[in-house]
Amino acid sequence: MLLDTTVNQTPYAIAKLEEAARVVKQAINELPLIRKRLDKFKDNKPKAREVYGDLQQQYSRLLGALSSAALSLMEMELTDEAEHSVKLGQSIKSFNLMTPDYTKLCAVLSGYLSKLPIAESKTTNASVIGRLMNVVKMGYYPTDIDSVKHIARGIEFPEGIAANLFDPCCGCGLALRALAGENDCNTYGVELDGHRAEEALERLNRVGFGSYFRSRISNEAFHAMLLNPPYLSIMTEGGNNTRSEKRFLIDSLSNLMQGGLLIYIIPYYRLTVDICRILCDNFDDLTVWKFAGDEFKRFKQVAVMGTRRKRQDGSGLVQGLAALALEPDSLRELTDLPEGRYQLPATTKRVDLFKGAEFNVTELSEQLGKSASFSRLFEKNKLDGAAKRPLLPLNLGQVGLIGGSGLINGLVECDSPHIIKGRIVKENRLNKEENLNNRRELTSTTLTETRSNKMIFNLLTPQGFMSLADYNNANADAGGGEYAAA
């Protein structure tokens, strides 16, 4: 994965934690008021149902905020605070909204806010920010190859069909090459860094140079996609910041064919509700597998796997998928992924369009070498190497023009062999005409300049060198006549 430097001044985890804290604070203020309004309309059932709907909406937002806060605290490596957020959310799920008095609930939530590492609570410290900013610097972290091999073991490749594999952030191409293994695969990657892209060309069939978001790639052309994006903020065309792992997922899923396999590698705390909604709307058979051993302790990465289907409403599955991120210890490791767990589609597919954002000579030369149309364009015409005979004898003017153009240029085999070279040069001629009156007196002089083509033939004969020239204006016969005499 490539880490970009285009990030907000506030680390993402802190920004999301502060956003969650605002929702909790709003719930503390709003929940008791809405509950009191409900009592006012206890005799008005339609109005009471409307107010109760508002109460449920505020309650749902509170639960979502606690889950979001837990993920941010996990990213900050504040384990105790994250566990407290999870347990608090589970406790509030059993809270009866019809309880008349919300005082105890609001007190618990206020105490929770006071302990969060946010600006308002004065508990944000340099060590928390330092840990977060360590990953903001420009860096390249390749996907663990052993983990990729475990993933490859869980894939059943189609027999007799070359599977198209795609990596939008391919780095040096090691991960995608490991995923392909010894199977019959066509490997395609895109890499932002030019040096790594050059290296990837040695391992992959095709590599697009530059940003994936400015590349042009066929839709629904790939049997499997290995997506391990950077985990920082990027600027959208509208000028807003968004998470790069989310934008990569949204933009690249169209490259995957229906039934194709997504392998989405992100830190487990990035499995947020919005990411889960995208996955549940577009993929079936979703499973989450954490990297094994020290690799998970170091980067906290999981592989989300699923097969693409036509987009539909998957909102009912979102909470179940998002809940997995709140209990990372319960996730299964990639070493437990069953062999052949996912099958790639047995569909032959050509990748008709694959162009990176930047021009690179290596990729261009490779593609031109494979292009039959390009070869035909420069193919030497058979007539070029064959002896040419005019259909009719040339007249003198035609012989002169041909000679002057240089086509008669070399050895002429005849009774008296000679070497001839013809050429045409420009020449100016000045004519002077005297004008006389009736008494034959000179009244004026007219000067006329004429530009003409001068045809020159140089001949090397056994008798020595000869040079013949004639003026060839509109009528070419004159030059041709002198050549004929030679």
Determine, yes or no, domain membership for 240.
yes
Q: How far apart are CA 436 and CA 366, in angstroms?
A: 78
Q: What is the pLDDT of residue 221?
A: 96
Q: How does strand 256-267 pair with strand 222-227?
A: parallel
Residue 187 contacts residue 203 (beta carbons within 8 Å): yes
Residues 420 and 331 in one domain: no
Instruction: Kindly report the length of the chain.
Output: 486
Residue 287 falls within a domain, yes or no? yes
Contact 315, 234 (CB under 8 A): no
Whether 3 is in a domain gets the answer no
Same domain, 201 and 279: yes
2's tokens = 């490539």
- Exposed e or buried b for every residue in 20-59, given b needs 16+ CB within 10 A? bbebbeebbebbeebbebbeeeeeeeeebeebbeebeebb
Same domain, 180 and 292: yes
Per-residue pLDDT, 125: 60
127 and 229 share one domain: no
E strand residue ranges, 129-251: 139-140, 155-156, 163-167, 185-191, 206-209, 216-217, 222-227, 233-235, 241-243
For the record, the structure tokens of 380 come out as: 């030497």
In angstroms, the Cα distances linking 64 to 47, 90, 171, 174, 272 are 26, 11, 35, 38, 10
Question: 264, 252 in Cβ contact below 8 A?
Answer: no
- Please indicate, yes or no, whether residues 25 and 148 belong to a single structural domain of this protein: no
Q: Are residues 86 and 214 in the same domain?
A: no
- pTM score, two decimals? 0.67
Domain boundary among 133, 165, 193: 133
Q: Three-class SS of residue 52? A: helix
Q: Has residue 235 been placed in a domain?
A: yes
Identify the CATH number of the domain in which residue 153 sits.
3.40.50.150
Q: Residue 74 has which token pair? A: 């996990």
pLDDT for the residue numbered 381: 61
Give CA–CA dist 110/112, Å, rounded: 5
Reported as a single tens digit per residue, the pLDDT across 158-179 is 999 999 999 999 999 999 999 9
**C-alpha angle with apex 209: 188 to 299, nearest 5 degrees?**
70
Q: What range defines the domain where residue 440 resides?
A: 394-485
The number of CA neighbours under 13 Å toward the Cβ of 343 is: 6
Are 98 and 146 within one domain?
no
Instruction: Return the percent helix, strand and coil in the chain, to nearest 5.
Output: 45, 25, 30
Q: Which amino acid is at 224?
A: A
Name the one residue in this structure whose structure tokens are 């035609």: 398
Q: Residues with Cβ < 8 Å from 98, sequence gap 6 or more?
A: none
Q: Looking at residue 20, what is its pLDDT?
A: 92
Residues 120 and 266 in one domain: no
Contact 40, 150 (CB under 8 A): no
Residue 385 within a domain: no
Alpha-carbon distance 297 to 77, whole Å?
Answer: 11
Tally the domains of the chain.
3
Last residue of a domain, one of 80, 104, 133: 133
Query: Tokens 């998970």 appear where?
Result: 296
pLDDT tens-digit map of 460-471 = 787 777 777 643
- Asked if residue 50 belongs to a domain, the reply is yes
Same domain, 320 and 218: yes
With respect to residue 383, please indicate whether it lies within any of the assigned structural domains. no
Residues 198 and 289 grouped into a single domain: yes
Average pLDDT for runs of 10 along the chain of length 486: 46 84 93 91 89 93 93 87 92 92 93 82 56 52 89 96 96 95 96 91 93 94 95 53 84 96 94 95 97 89 96 94 92 95 95 88 69 65 64 75 69 74 80 82 83 79 73 39 33
Does 191 lie in the same domain as 100? Answer: no
Whether residue 103 is contained in a domain is answered as yes
Of 322, 354, 370, which marks where a domain is finished? 370
Is the domain of 63 the same as that of 163? no
Separation between Cα atoms, residue 149 and residue 145, nearest integer Å: 6
